[in-house]
Homo-oligomer: A and B are copies of this chain.
Amino acid sequence: MAQKRKDFQALIKKWLHANKKSGIHLLQELVRAKSTQGNEAACQNIIIRTLTNMGLQVDVWDPDENELQKNPYFASSRTEFKGSPNVVGRLKGTGGGRSIILNGHVDVVPEGDRDQWTHDPYSGKVENGKMYGRGVTDMKGGNVSLLLAIQVLQALNVTLKGDVIFESVIEEESGGSGTLASILRGYKADAAIIPEPTNMKIFPKQQGSMWFRLHVKGRSAHGGTRYEGVSAIEKSMFVVNHIRELENKRNERITDPLYKTIPIPIPINIGKIEGGDWPSSVADLVKIEGRMGVSPEETMEEAKKEMENWLQRISEVDPWFEQYPLKLEWFGARWLPGSIQTDHELVASLSRNYQSVLKKDPVIEASPWGTDGGLLTNVGETPSIVFGPGVTEKAHFPNEYIELNKVFETAEIIALTLLDWCGIELN
């Protein structure tokens, strides 16, 4: 049997090698279909065509904003999703096996300052084994790995027992409305793999996160008599330091070995600051926006509550805030944390196949960011693992790229894992 499996693995590798050109071509097509928020349709059409050609049952729908808005896990800046379809393709199993969701998002973050890109961000330029472009690493490369994994099993005439549900969703970058809509449409499975850019690390746990905004008040005055005012900019520094203390406190509690190499497991990032409106005036309002990391061991509500209580205590250290309390808002995107047991069978299978394909042990860690895995695991009752070929450091950055070899290595590992997880129907 072991020999047989080894032969099989060789066949998979061979097919993937033989189909490298068409895999790269598909990825390039997807990258060229610029799929920033609200513009996902062209990219989804490529997916629909591909899934149809593969003979899968294809389901295409625009998420229903009315249904989503009623859901407590909905967090989006969008009020409608018309023209931004989700696409699901199902490879029906013969029954008796475990099902799996293979989930990838097609939405990409904006390219930012074009001058910082060497090539057109939507060219899909290939150079020295890398493909460049916005979204290539986060996460169209991973999506192609998923499609290749299914295709190779089909090409080798493998019949699986469990269903394979391939989900091509929108809105991951903005809080997961696409995956939430898939869950609400009834898609669930015994487990899920999400090939976000992990540098091929295996993430059984994912940090959640949510955004907050603080309004820090001051009292205006002319700059020439600044001592008559109270600077909201100076008070903001106080607030930033206070938040830093909370970050320390929260991270000291984390003992999970999956975080052992991570300097700050659940950081609180202050990402934006803006305040004052005139160089010669004392600033009377500063707005701070940031991202609070949420541990897989806590709920979003617990994390919120801790932040709220901590910020209230700022008036104990500076009485200014008694009279002019900080205003805290939770706004915009949020990602639920996710977690499955590290001894979960899917982790074991992925690890074994990683070893078998790459001849080395995988790195198993907790992810420093949220993914749709939080929703799948906690809301969709589908335990999820994040594992993908993209370059973590390049996600959201200029000159985003992926190493093409890794797309195929990931496809090989996932194909083997599907065999383990879903079971083979011997014909």
A: which residues have CB within 8 A of B? 207, 209, 211-213, 220, 222-228, 231, 233-234, 236-237, 240, 263-264, 267, 269-283, 286, 289-291, 293, 332-333, 367-370, 393, 395-397
Contact = CB atoms under 8 A, between A and B. Distances in A.
Contact of A207 (B224, B264, B369): B224
Contacts of A227: 263-264, 267
B240 A279 contact: no
Contacts of A240: 233-234, 237
A201 to B, nearest CB: 13
Given A291-B280, A368-B225, A286 B263 contact: no
**Which of A220, A271, A278 has the most B CB atoms < 10 Å from its CB?**
A271
Given A237-B237, A272-B276, 12 more contacts: A207-B224, A209-B224, A223-B271, A225-B368, A225-B369, A226-B264, A269-B280, A269-B282, A271-B276, A271-B280, A271-B282, A279-B290
Contacts of A233: 240, 270, 273
29 contacts: A207-B224, A209-B224, A222-B368, A222-B395, A223-B267, A223-B293, A224-B267, A224-B269, A224-B367, A224-B368, A224-B370, A225-B369, A226-B264, A226-B267, A227-B263, A233-B273, A234-B240, A234-B270, A270-B283, A271-B278, A271-B282, A272-B276, A272-B279, A273-B273, A273-B276, A273-B283, A274-B275, A279-B289, A279-B290
Contacts of A275: 272-274
B209 A223 contact: yes
B369 A222 contact: yes
A242 B241 CA distance: 17
B226 A269 contact: yes
Given A240-B234, A240-B237, A280-B211, A269 B368 contact: no
Nearest to A229: B269
**Which of A226, A264, A291, A332 has the most B CB atoms < 10 Å from its CB?**
A226
A293 B222 contact: no
Identify the 10 closest CB pairs spanning chains A and B, nearest first.
Answer: A223-B269, A224-B368, A224-B369, A272-B276, A271-B279, A223-B291, A279-B289, A280-B291, A227-B263, A226-B267
A213 B279 CA distance: 9
A393 B271 CA distance: 35
Nearest to A244: B234
